[in-house]
Amino acid sequence: MIVISVIFGILFSVRYLLVALFLGAYAWAQCTSYYRLSNFRGPLWASITNLWMVRSVYLRRAHLDLYHAYQKYGELTRIGPNVLLTSDPDLVQHMSSPKSGYTRAQWYAGQKLEVGHDNLLSTVDDNIHTKKRAQMAMGYSGKDVEGVEVALDKHILSFLDLIRRKYISTSSDLRPLDLARRVSFFVMDFTTDIAFGHPWGCLVNDEDVDKWFESAAIFLPVVIMVSTIPWLAQLFSIPLVGKFVGPSDKDKTGPGKILRAVKEVVRRRFDLKDHEQKRDMMGSFIRHGISRNDVVAEAALQIAVGTDTTATTIRTTMLYIMTNPRVYHKLQTEIDSTMCRVEIIPDKLARTMPYLQAVIKEGSRICPPTTGILSKKAPPAGENFKGNFIPGGTEIGQCAWGLQRSKEVYGDDSECFRPERWLEAKGERLEKMEKSLGLLWGYGKFSCLGKHIALLELNKVFFEVS
């Protein structure tokens, strides 16, 4: 009995010792992390835990909380144990410069639909990302896609026809229109048409085909949460865990159903011979050597990101136009005075309309379509930037609202929707505004490859729908 007691005593002692060592190591790690960035101010919670960001994302107010933190604590605010937030256009631009030494942080790793298959957005490795960009640039930019503007005109006509056919009220018949949802249908059909050769069918059917938008409302917040918690992204990257919690193409509903539909489209396209490939984005990817799994990942990304971001800009800008009689009147006057001899305004002509362009810029600025922090990781040796030393490995995210509502850049009325600021600004002030607005599309090695097509949509849709 004495021997057994001694053995149990040793085991208990070892257990307590291991627990003590674990707690000690954790406490040391937390203290080290705290002091490492102790020169930067921010919410108290954020200095010791990611729970501050988790709470903001969960409550779906991260864009506001980040903006308020920037206003309170300044250009470099601490929002996590190893995460800083910036609204400095110079720093955001610097981090994305090819020779800066900054790389994508783990935030990006959570931005994928199917676990284990990275898309261009979720790829963290710099070398792989650079190679993918080179292979996909011609497709995403539309340069390798036949008849982009013609396809867009077709879908704008379909959009207008739907409104006229079903949603024009009369004195005896009220026909309310959910414009926000129909805008999403329009962008979805155009995106899928040029992405893989045929539209999803939302506009023709006037419904959420395959429940994509219903599924996205559930799944996309989960993706954002995974990106917010680094260890969760790493956990989900384990194949066994990922297969258990992630969407599967065997699912009958939700994102898995969408994934199955995408895989079926890709399967049919890979069964074609080279000369049979359509001149769309998917055909471009295939011709440039993108693998089947990567094409599936990109197709899912095009639907999720390409649809949501552009639709958000259209929806919010239309809201500001409709609720500002002065803006609406000036825009309508410019539209009425524009000589357009075809059914849908050509892109080249839309670009010559000063007030229309000012409205597009102001709408994009006042409510940025992407508010994720898009964090980058500082080079191992760290660096000094404007008098602040940023330790190596520190992650720095960007505050989209802070960038686009900066009083220093846009003036004291930066929180007001006022397109005229783009017509009044001259010289250095205009250059600063253009530079800051341009960061909505990324910069340098992380710039958005689909910018040209998104602007093509914006240049036409407000002219035709307003």
Per the annotation, where are the binding residues?
448
- What are the residues facing 95 on neighbouring strands? none
**Residue 181: in which H helix or E strand, if any?**
helix 179-196
Sign of CA dihedral 68, 69, 71, 76: negative
Sign of CA dihedral 311, 313, 316, 317: negative
Instruction: Tell me how crowded residue 240 is: count the other CB atoms within 10 A of its CB.
Output: 7
Quote the DSSP letter at residue 303. Answer: I
The residue count for the chain: 466
**Separation of alpha carbons 463 and 466, rounded Å:** 6
**Separation of alpha carbons 372 and 228, rounded Å:** 9
Alpha helices by DSSP H, listed for 74-114, are: 89-95
Alpha helices by DSSP H, listed for 323-446, are: 325-336, 347-350, 354-366, 400-404, 407-410, 421-424, 427-438
Binding region for heme: 448
**Separation of alpha carbons 35 and 45, rounded Å:** 14
Burial grade of 307 (CB within 10 A; 0-12, 13-18, 19 or more): buried
Which of 413, 419, 414 minimizes the C-alpha distance to 330?
419
Burial grade of 124 (CB within 10 A; 0-12, 13-18, 19 or more): middle
Quote the DSSP letter at residue 84. Answer: E
CA distances from 417 to 53, 390, 426, 437 (A): 28, 35, 19, 14
Instruction: Check: CB of residue 292 under 8 Å from CB of residue 270.
Output: yes
Phi and psi angles of residue 333, each rounded to the nearest 5 degrees, phi first: -65, -45
**Residue 135: in which H helix or E strand, if any?**
helix 126-140
In this structure, the dihedral spanned by the alpha carbons of residues 214, 216, 219 and 222, taken in order and rounded to 10 degrees, is -120
Residue listed under structure tokens 């036949």: 146
**Separation of alpha carbons 459 and 148, rounded Å:** 14
